[in-house]
Amino acid sequence: MLKKIAVSQLRLGMHVHALDGPWLNHPFWRTKFVIADPADLQRLVDSSVSECWINPQLGLDVPATLAAQPKAAPPAASENPEKTAELLTAPPELRNASKSLQEELQQAAAICNRGRAAVVSMFNEARMGKTVDSEGCLPLVAEIADSVERNPGALVSLARLKTRHDYSYMHSVAVCALMVSMGRQMGMGEEQRRQAGLAGLMHDIGKAVMPVAVLDKPGSLTDVEFSVMRSHPRRGYDILVEGRGATVEMLDVVLHHHERVDGTGYPEKISGDAFTQIARMGAICDVYDAITSNRPYKRGWDPAESIARMAGWKGHLDPVLFGVFVRSLGIYPTGSLVRMASSRLAVVVEQNASSLVSPIVKVFFSTKSDMPIAPVLLDLSRSDCTDRIVGREQGADERFPNLVDVWIDPTALRRAQG
pLDDT at 98 over 80: no
- Give 89's DSSP letter: P
Residue 174: pLDDT band with limits 50, 70, 90? very high
Give the CA distances from residue 271 to residues 122, 286, 370, in Å, rounded to whole numbers and listed in that order: 30, 18, 49
Closest by Cα among 208, 213, 207 to 229: 207
- Give 219's DSSP letter: S
For residue range 243-298, list pLDDT tens digits in order: 888 999 999 999 999 999 999 999 999 999 999 999 999 999 999 999 998 876 77
Instruction: Quote the CA–CA distance of 228 and 215 in Å, as a whole number.
Output: 10
Lowest mean pLDDT across 33-37, 122-126, 325-329: 33-37
Residue 168: pLDDT band with limits 50, 70, 90? confident
Burial of 338 (0-12, 13-18, 19+ CB in 10 A): buried
Residues 15, 59 contacting (CB under 8 angstroms): yes
pLDDT at 151 over 50: yes
**Residue 3 contacts by C-beta under 8 Å, 6 or more apart in sequence?**
53, 54, 56, 61, 62, 67, 68, 70
Got the DSSP string for 334-383? Answer: TT-EEEETTSEEEEEEEEETTEEEEEEEEEEEETTTTEEEEEEEEETTST
Given the candidates 1.10.357.10, 2.60.40.10, 1.10.275.10, 1.10.3210.10, the CATH classification of the domain at 101-329 is 1.10.3210.10
- The three-state secondary structure class of 124 is helix
- The three-state secondary structure class of 299 is coil
For residue range 188-229, list pLDDT tens digits in order: 999 999 999 999 999 999 999 999 889 888 888 899 999 999
Provide mean pLDDT across the span 46-64: 80
Instruction: Quote the CA–CA distance of 90 and 96 in Å, as a whole number.
Output: 9
pLDDT at 146 over 90: yes
What pTM does this model have?
0.76
Backbone angles phi, psi at 119, to 5 degrees: -70, -40
**Residue 349 contacts by C-beta under 8 Å, 6 or more apart in sequence?**
101, 334, 359, 360, 361, 362, 377, 407
Instruction: Quote the CA–CA distance of 348 and 145 in Å, as a whole number.
Output: 23
Residues 259, 141 contacting (CB under 8 angstroms): no
Provide mean pLDDT across the span 179-187: 94
- The region, left, alpha or beta by phi > 0 then psi within -120 to 50, assigned to residue 129 is left
Residues 206, 236 contacting (CB under 8 angstroms): yes
Looking at residue 83, its pLDDT comes to 32
Instruction: Quote the CA–CA distance of 147 and 126 in Å, as a whole number.
Output: 28
For residue range 304-355, list pLDDT tens digits in order: 999 999 999 999 999 999 999 999 999 999 999 999 999 999 999 999 877 8
Looking at residue 403, its pLDDT comes to 87
Burial of 5 (0-12, 13-18, 19+ CB in 10 A): buried
Looking at residue 21, its pLDDT comes to 60
- The region, left, alpha or beta by phi > 0 then psi within -120 to 50, assigned to residue 199 is alpha
Starting at the earlier edge strand, list the strands of the sheet with 344-352.
371-379, 355-366, 344-352, 337-340, 389-392
pLDDT at 107 over 70: yes
Contacts 24+ apart (CB under 8 A), 46-50: 47/7, 48/21, 49/7, 49/19, 49/20, 49/21, 49/25, 50/6, 50/7, 50/20, 50/21
Looking at residue 82, its pLDDT comes to 33
CATH 1.10.3210.10 domain extents, the chain: 101-329
Instruction: Quote the CA–CA distance of 413 and 368 in Å, as a whole number.
Output: 31
